[in-house]
Amino acid sequence: MRYSIPIYWRNKNSYYSIEITKCRKCGKVAFFRRSICPFCSSREVEVIKSRGVGRVVSFTINYFRGDTNLEGYPRIIALIELNEGIKIVGELSDVKPEEVREGIEVEAVLRRYSSDDPYGLIYYGLKFIPRIKP
Ligand SMILES: [Zn+2]
């Protein structure tokens, strides 16, 4: 990735949590964090953190292996509908491609994205894993 540490640190909230805008006027939610409701233009919004639990709506398996990203091959990219009512795109982890199907319940966890080199910065972020029911 080759980000500088200060830039990565400034953006850490978007890497480590899912922030949603909830409108106090119309009650709708929107992803990502905003200061104005995209539905009714109200400024009476609050930022809530998603629990990161939802279901896979659709997915694709990416077999492209670029020069800079040699980890996590192949990658499973999914459209996920969170319980808060928004849809986001995320990467699935800890699951084999043949085990993924539409409708499985997933939850967000912190996982390693990549690293610059063996002694460089390690990048972490949110990925989704199949949810284990209690
Ligand atoms: Zn609104």
Q: List per-residue pLDDT tens for the chain, 134 residues long.
A: 566 778 878 888 878 899 999 999 999 999 988 999 999 999 999 999 999 999 999 999 988 776 655 566 788 999 999 999 999 999 999 999 999 999 999 999 998 887 777 777 788 889 999 997 65
Say how far apart CA 129 and CA 40 lie, in whole Å.
34
Would you state the structure tokens that stand for residue 70, as one six-digit string? 């040699």
Report the separation in Å between the CA atom of 125 and the middle of ligand 1, taken as the mean of its atom positions.
29
Report the separation in Å between the CA atom of 30 and the middle of ligand 1, taken as the mean of its atom positions.
9
Question: Where are the chain's structural domains?
Answer: 5-130
Report the separation in Å between the CA atom of 85 and the middle of ligand 1, taken as the mean of its atom positions.
14
Would you state the structure tokens that stand for residue 36, as one six-digit string? 């104005």
pLDDT at 81: 97
Report the separation in Å between the CA atom of 8 and the middle of ligand 1, taken as the mean of its atom positions.
31
